[in-house]
């Protein structure tokens, strides 16, 4: 199992292959977006909803763009054989 962290302007995308369950894709949290205030969202929620945390704080546009631009790197790390 491997982990990787992508960073940009105090924000992080934390990747964890131990959280990938091919036979149960809804299980686990292999990619998490974390704000400088430690508010979290799954990678997909961050892209789809543009928010983090329990209060649905909006992700700034430049950060959302970085998250979206990271999609290929996230997918290549978590699912290298696809």
Q: pLDDT for 35-80, tens place per residue?
A: 999 999 999 999 999 999 999 999 999 999 999 999 999 999 998 8
Domain count, the chain: 1
- Helix 61-69 to helix 71-78 angle, to the nearest 10 degrees? 40
The per-residue pLDDT for 36 is: 97
Give dist(CA 3, CA 12) in Å, integer. 13
Average pLDDT in the 10-17 region? 98
The per-residue pLDDT for 57 is: 95
**Does pLDDT of 82 surpass 80?**
no
Let me know how many helices (H) and strands (E) the chain has, helices first. 3, 6
Average pLDDT in the 21-46 region? 93
The per-residue pLDDT for 80 is: 87
Please tell me whether residue 57 adopts helix, strand or coil conformation: strand
- The neighbour count for residue 51, using CB atoms within 10 Å, is 17
For residues 29 and 46, the answer to whether their CB atoms sit within 8 Å is no
- Which residues constitute the domain of residue 17? 3-78
Tokens of 76: 């290549």
């Amino acid at each position: 199992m491997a982990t990787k962290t992508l960073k940009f302007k105090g924000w992080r995308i934390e990747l964890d292959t131990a959280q990938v369950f091919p036979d149960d894709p809804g299980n686990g949290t292999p990619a998490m977006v974390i704000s400088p205030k430690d508010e979290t969202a799954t990678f997909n929620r961050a892209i789809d909803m543009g928010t983090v945390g329990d209060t649905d704080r909006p992700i700034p546009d430049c950060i959302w763009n970085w998250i979206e631009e990271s999609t290929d790197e996230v997918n290549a790390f978590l699912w290298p054989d696809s």
